[in-house]
Amino acid sequence: MNKKWEELNVLLHEDVKRAIKSFQFPTMTPVQAATIPLLLGKKDVAAQAVTGSGKTLAFLIPLLELLKRHDDEDKLKPHQVGAIVISPTRELALQTYSVLKQFLKHIKGIRDVLLVGGNNVDEDIQNIEKNGCNVLICTPGRLEDLLTNQQHKLNLAQAVKSVELLILDEADRLLDLGFKSTIDNILNYLPKQRRTGLFSATQTKELDVLIRAGLRNPVSITVTEKASQSTPVSLKNFYVTTKNNGKLATLLSFLEADNVQKGLLFVPTCACVDYWSHVLPDLHASLPVFAIHGKMKEKRKKVLGDFSQAERGLLICTDVLARGIDIPQVDWVVQWDPPASAAAFVHRIGRTARQGNEGSALIMLYESEEAYVDFIRRNQKVEVNAIADSATDELVSELLTKLRKLQMADRDLFDKGTRAFVSHIRSYSKHECSLLLRVNELPLAGMAASYGLLQLPKMPELKNRDLSEFPAMPDFDINKLAYRNKTREEQRKLKLDIYKETGKWPGKRKPIRAKQSEAWSKAKEQKELKRLKRMKRKQAKVERKGEVSDRKRKSALSEEDMAELAKDIALIKKLKKKKISNEEFDKEMGIE
């Protein structure tokens, strides 16, 4: 144990000292040295540090110390929650929980509970009721559910009133719009006089976000191994420019040439994971293939465990594994294409080169995407170096033939490939940096060929595009393509017979007829007329009922009230569009 750990030991409870000593940590990382004393001193902390820098221990050690101090003062009761750690995904929550369990082997008297989606809610409730809970490791959705849903008959809202420390792991993800309302609901149940810690590799710095998380005058900590970069110095980053129809060939030739032992392959969507995990074992049999995506629920835990224990393998995944997950011996992280956000790029490549180990990352780009390299260098301070594409035209052609044979043998693979391609294109249009990464600049025909599609799907993105790079199959009849599964094939044939007789595919929704266009002014007039009729009906209903409650009386607005409300809304719109100044707005609204 190095000098910094020895200095910290002076401040710690004997049980916590014993637990730390059993781990035999070689060195204290910078984020641990900066954060632990602050949290022990009951300060709010917003910590940003590169991936794999030991952030989990940076909050677990002070968390355990604060709880053990209660033994000497006012010991927590079995059903009093003293600390909560919230993680954005169940995998990250499970990983944190497993580290906590290692500590609790040497620390007695602290009761811990894991609350994540996918587990049985009734079992979680019974576990808390039977064993108690002092530390909660959870995902936001499950915690909110148990706090707000009264049907569970568990008074967790009362139990969390004793929370002394709240940790938001991967805080930038938890505080974004996806979890905003959930986190807000949770914070409403927690005591104001608590300590809060935000931890992430790409920490948000907006003051209003920090205040919303409940921090008062937070100490901001930024730890990077080099001032000029935001990733570990032991991580080597590369990019390769692929042929329009050769991304799969580039991937397979790279896996072979660089002798990848244990790698992560990030793809854009769940459908892409599903497709590539089915076909890659037939194309690259030397490397075991695993698959994880967000729709897999209970199966994810087992797959992650199997991959972690495997000596070799390729795990195909979505961004559900992009944050915080620590998998042993991952030597390469490969990205099929640029992620939806620049921050996700840093989190993805952070799955390797952790805790001082060496690792490498590769992103595959088309020619139209090469500007992304400079963007990521400027935006995320990540240096990415070019490597040559070793894929040959012969390999590209060979893979297309193999993929088409696989799809011809089972219509299910053709369906999976088509869904994967369509979902890939649709997800690409949602990039944060859409000005740089544009769908209309993608080589869509070549991409469809790299998926091995038998025919191009009907989608608006393909209209008026050059499709010459897609090798058409003029004699191919989609109606003759059969499912390997006999039950599904019988159902398909039955539907096909109905289609031949009626000209309509059974079960298909009726097309929505487009409304006849009309002048905007006329449509507005009709809309206003309908609104007034609704108001009159509502008023008449209230009058018929006679005596109404205060709540209903408030909802029965007069025409003057409605006119005043419409005027206020119009003013707000003008202010948003900067047609009026703040002073003019205040004057019109009667605000002094």
pLDDT digits (tens, 9 = 90+) for 392-436: 999 999 999 999 999 999 999 999 999 999 999 999 988 888 888
Q: Of the ranges 8-22, 121-135, 325-339, 429-443, which one carries the lowest mean pLDDT score?
A: 8-22
pLDDT reported for residue 591: 59
Note whether 285 and 362 are same-domain residues. yes
- The pLDDT-based confidence of 514 (bands split at 50, 70, 90) is very low
115-170, pLDDT tens digit by residue? 998 788 888 999 999 999 999 999 999 999 999 887 667 889 999 999 999 999 98
Domain boundary pick from 223, 250, 267: 223
Q: Of the ranges 230-244, 246-260, 404-418, which one carries the lowest mean pLDDT score?
A: 230-244
Q: What are phi and psi of 46, to 5 degrees?
A: -120, 105
SS (H, E, C) 140-171: HHHHHHHHHCHHHCCCHHHHHHHCCEEEEECH
**Domains in the chain, number:** 3
Q: Is residue 453 part of a domain?
A: yes
Q: Is residue 229 part of a domain?
A: no
Average pLDDT over residues 462-485: 93
Find the CATH number of the domain harbouring 188: 3.40.50.300
In this structure, are residues 240 and 254 in contact, taking their beta carbons and an 8 Å threshold? Answer: yes
Q: Is residue 456 part of a domain?
A: yes
More confident residue, 1 or 349: 349
Q: Does residue 579 register a pLDDT over 80?
A: no
Average pLDDT over residues 353-359: 81
The residue segments making up the domain with residue 51 are 3-223
Note whether 360 and 255 are same-domain residues. yes
Note whether 191 and 247 are same-domain residues. no
Domain boundary pick from 223, 252, 269: 223
Q: Is residue 571 part of a domain?
A: yes
Note whether 355 and 254 are same-domain residues. yes
SS (H, E, C) 515-579: CCCCCHHHHHHHHHHHHHHHHHHHHHHHHHHCCCCHHHHHHCCCHHHHHHHHHHHHHHHHHHCCC
Note whether 206 and 263 are same-domain residues. no
Q: What are phi and psi of 426, to 5 degrees?
A: -65, -40
What angle do the packed helices 90-104 and 14-23 form, to 10 degrees? 110
Tokens of 459: 């989608």
Note whether 268 and 157 are same-domain residues. no
pLDDT reported for residue 118: 78
Rounded Cα distance, 517 and 524, in Å:
13
Q: Is residue 525 part of a domain?
A: no
Q: Is residue 23 part of a domain?
A: yes
Q: Is residue 469 part of a domain?
A: no
For the chain, give the mean pLDDT: 85
Rounded Cα distance, 305 and 328, in Å:
11
Q: Is residue 415 part of a domain?
A: yes
Note whether 190 and 262 are same-domain residues. no
Note whether 156 and 261 are same-domain residues. no
Note whether 289 and 347 are same-domain residues. yes
